[in-house]
Amino acid sequence: MNIRALLPCLLLITLATSAARAETPLERGRYLVNSIVACGNCHTPQTPNGPEAGKELAGQFLIKTPGFTAYAPNISRDPETGIGKWTDEQIINAIRNGRRPDGTLIGPPMPFEFYRHMSDSDVKGIVAYLRTVPPVKNTATRSTYNFPLPPAYGPEVTTVPDVPKDDPVKYGEYLTGPLAHCWACHSPIVNGEPDYEHQFGAGGQVLEGPWGVAVTANITPHEDGIRDYSDEDIARAITTGVRPDGSKLSAPMGFYYYKNIRPDDLKAMVAYIRTVPPKPTPK
Ligand code: HEC
Ligand code: HEC
């Protein structure tokens, strides 16, 4: 057989093997941080048009609430002002248990109630990616809390298994919860905390920041929420920040990151959102 006849075969073999090749931890982490997980939605300085170029994960003033004034620190790999000197285990412990290497607890609104359930593969991928983000020098101001932080966010998490992708509803629950913490913004605040128990996803949380005042939407399948949206409508609102009526969503809804969510993951997210108990928007 001559080489010309062989070429199409070789091409097919190459395509097939690259499609079958599993993502490396770094590829997984790059995808997650720049899409669903969106650490930068809090940790990267934001401009009116999205994340500030050249300042990825360099830290910023985040939010002032009646209970606290939070600054998201520099988590680029700068050794002095970022987390360049932290070991992989220390960074994982900070993400899942909310604990710094010196033993102190990290305060809200970093969503540890969700990040505690992040799988070992995903959290390791995120750390692999953080190691590649260019270092930026920036010392963030300390946050202040008008209440004592708890001693811990729960029993120490050391290992979490992967969530299989074969059941879209289950995987969608993992994507919108432990990875994306959608519910931390989309559940109303009662007694200083999101009311996950009675009003999961019912919206009505008031968020004040550089974007002005944004009120989170009801994303349950209630008439106040996304009941009348098609799957495509929900997916489009998440990834483009545009509602079915053409109106635009405001930050801090994370569409600058969510635009990179892959179609399969979006499908699973929508499948799970449809199963959440419908709740009216709090008045
Ligand atoms: C909702 C906003 C928010 C999100 C999302 C978020 N963080 Fe944070 N993070 C914070 C805030 C605020 C602090 C500081 C709290 C304090 O001062 O105690 C913090 C602290 C940290 C710290 C401790 C840094 C230090 O020097 O003390 C690390 C590490 C960290 N975050 C990593 C991450 C990673 C990685 C992600 C994505 C997986 C992430 N964060 C997502 C808000 C957020
Ligand atoms: C940092 C807070 C925050 C996070 C995290 C967040 N959202 Fe939002 N979301 C908002 C806000 C605020 C709005 C309303 C913006 C407006 O009214 O302009 C919104 C609006 C929406 C809408 C539009 C609903 C409508 O009224 O048409 C959908 C759908 C949505 N979010 C889904 C999600 C999903 C799914 C996730 C997780 C992947 C998520 N959001 C994560 C803050 C957030």
Ligand 2 within 6 A of 222 CB?
no
Summary mean pLDDT of the chain: 93
39 CA closest ligand 1 atom index: 37
Q: What is the pLDDT of residues 164-220, one digit of tens each?
A: 999 999 999 999 999 999 999 999 999 889 999 999 999 999 998 888 899 999 999
Place of tokens 């989170």: 216
User: Alpha carbon of 153 to those of 27, 32, 141, 234, 280: distances in Å?
Assistant: 29, 23, 23, 32, 29
* 225 CA to centre of ligand 2 in angstroms: 11
184 CA closest ligand 2 atom index: 5
Ligand number nearest to the C-alpha of 172 = 2
Residue to mutate (ligand 2; options 43, 46, 185, 248; most atoms within 8 A of CB):
185
Domain boundary assignment for the chain: 23-162, 165-276
Ligand 2 within 6 A of 268 CB?
no
Q: What is the pLDDT of residue 4?
A: 57
Is it the case that residue 247 has pLDDT exceeding 80?
yes
Is it the case that residue 10 has pLDDT exceeding 60?
no
Shortest-distance Cα residue to atom 21 of ligand 2: 217
One of 1.20.144, 1.10.760, 1.10.238, 1.25.40 is the CATH number of 165-276, namely: 1.10.760
Q: What is the pLDDT of residues 75-95, one digit of tens each?
A: 999 999 999 999 999 999 999
Q: Where are the beta strands (DSSP E) in the chain?
A: 46-47, 50-51, 60-64, 68-72, 144-145, 189-190, 193-194, 206-209, 212-215
Q: What is the pLDDT of residues 215-224, one digit of tens each?
A: 999 999 999 9
* 170 CA to centre of ligand 1 in angstroms: 26
Shortest-distance Cα residue to atom 1 of ligand 1: 110
Ligand 2 within 6 A of 238 CB?
yes
Show Cβ contacts of residue 160 under 8 Å, excluding neighbours closer than 6 positions.
96, 116, 117, 118, 119, 120, 123
